[in-house]
Structure 1
Amino acid sequence: MAPISSLGLPVSASHRFVLAVSWLILFSLLSQIACGIYCDEDDCYDLLGISQNANASEIKKAYYKLSLKYHPDKNPDPESRKLFVKIANAYEILKDEATREQYDYAIAHPEEVFYNAARYYHAYYGHKTDPRIVLLGVLLVVSALQYLNRHSRYTQAINMVKKTPAYKNRLRALELERNGLASNKKKGNKQMDKKVEEELSNELELQIQGTEKPSIWSLFAMQFILLPYALGKMLLWRFCWFWRYQINKAPLTWDDACYLTQACLKIPHDAWQNIDKSAKQNLVMKRLWEKVNMENYQAEMKRESKRRR
Structure 2
Amino acid sequence: LQDEETRKDYDYMLDHPEEYYRHYYHYYSRRLAPKVDVRIVILVTVCAISVFQFFSWWSSYNEAINYLATVPKYRIQATEIARQQGLLNKTKEKGKNRRSKEEIREVEEEIIKDIIKNKIDIKGGYQKPKIYDILLFQILLAPFYLCKYIAWYCWWIYCFTIKGQEYGVEEKLYIIRRYMKMSQSQFDSLEDHQKETFLERQLWIRENYEVYKREQEEELKKKMAMDPRWKRYRRWMKNEGPGRLTFIDD
Say whether the 8 Å CA contact 1:171–1:197 is kept in structure 2: no
RMSD over aligned CA atoms reads 3.5
2:28 aligns with 102
TM-score computed with the length of structure 2 as normaliser: 0.62
Alpha-carbon distance in structure 2 between the residues aligned to 1:122 and 1:151: 40
- Measured in 1, the distance between the counterparts of 2:135 and 2:87 equals 46
Shift in alpha-carbon separation, 1:276–1:98, aligned structure 2, 3 A: same
**Are 1:145 and 2:52 counterparts?**
yes
Asked if structure 1 preserves the Cα contact closer than 8 Å seen for 2:58 and 2:129, the reply is yes
Task: Specify which of 202, 216, 220 is matched with residue 135 of structure 2.
Answer: 220
Deviations 1:162-201 (A, max 9, x none): 34444432331222332399xxxxxxxx996533442342
- 1:72 is matched with none
Identity of aligned residues (%): 21
1:233 alignment partner, one of 132, 148, 154: 148
8 Å CA contact 2:175–2:204 kept in 1: the answer is yes
Q: 1:296 to 1:140 in 2, by over 3 A?
A: same
Q: Matched residue of 2:43: which SS?
A: helix
Any stretches of 5+ residues in structure 2 without a counterpart? 1-12, 89-100, 227-250
Structure 1 position 299 matched with structure 2 position 214: yes
Residues of 1 paired with 2:220 and 2:15: CA distance? Answer: 85
Please tell me the residue identity of whatever aligns with 1:120: R
Q: How many residues align?
A: 193
Q: Structure 2 residue aligned with 1:120, among 23, 27, 31? A: 31
Q: Determine helix, strand or coil for the equivalent of 1:255.
A: helix
Once the two structures are TM-superposed, the CA of residue 261 in structure 1 deviates from its matched residue by 1.2
In the aligned structure 1, how far is the partner of 2:208 from the partner of 2:166?
Answer: 18
Q: CA deviation at 1:208?
A: 6.1
Q: Secondary structure at the match of 1:210?
A: helix
- Shift, 1:218, TM fit: 0.9
Partners of 1:154 and 1:214 within 8 A in 2:
yes
What's the CA shift for 1:248?
Answer: 0.4
SS of the residue corresponding to residue 126 of structure 2 reads: coil
- Gapped runs of 5+ residues in structure 1? 1-54, 60-95, 104-118, 182-189
Structure having the higher Rg: 1
Higher relative contact order (CA 8 A, sep 6+): 2
State the alpha-carbon separation in 1 of the partners of residues 137 and 77 from structure 2.
35
1:247 matches 2:154: no
The one of 104, 107, 110 equivalent to 1:198 is 110
* TM-score in terms of structure 1 length: 0.52
| 265-274 vs 209-218, which moves further | 265-274
Q: Secondary structure of the residue that 2:125 maps to in structure 1?
A: coil
Amino acid at match of 2:111: E
Match of 2:69 in 1: 162
> Structure 1 residues 284 and 164 mapped into 2: Cα distance closer, same or farther (>3 Å)?
closer
1:307 Cα deviation after fit: 6.0
Conserved? CA contact 2:123–2:188, under 8 Å: no
Q: Partners of 2:205 and 2:109 in 1: how far apart?
A: 51
Q: Secondary structure at the match of 1:204?
A: helix
Counterpart CA distance in 2 for 1:231 and 1:298 is: 32
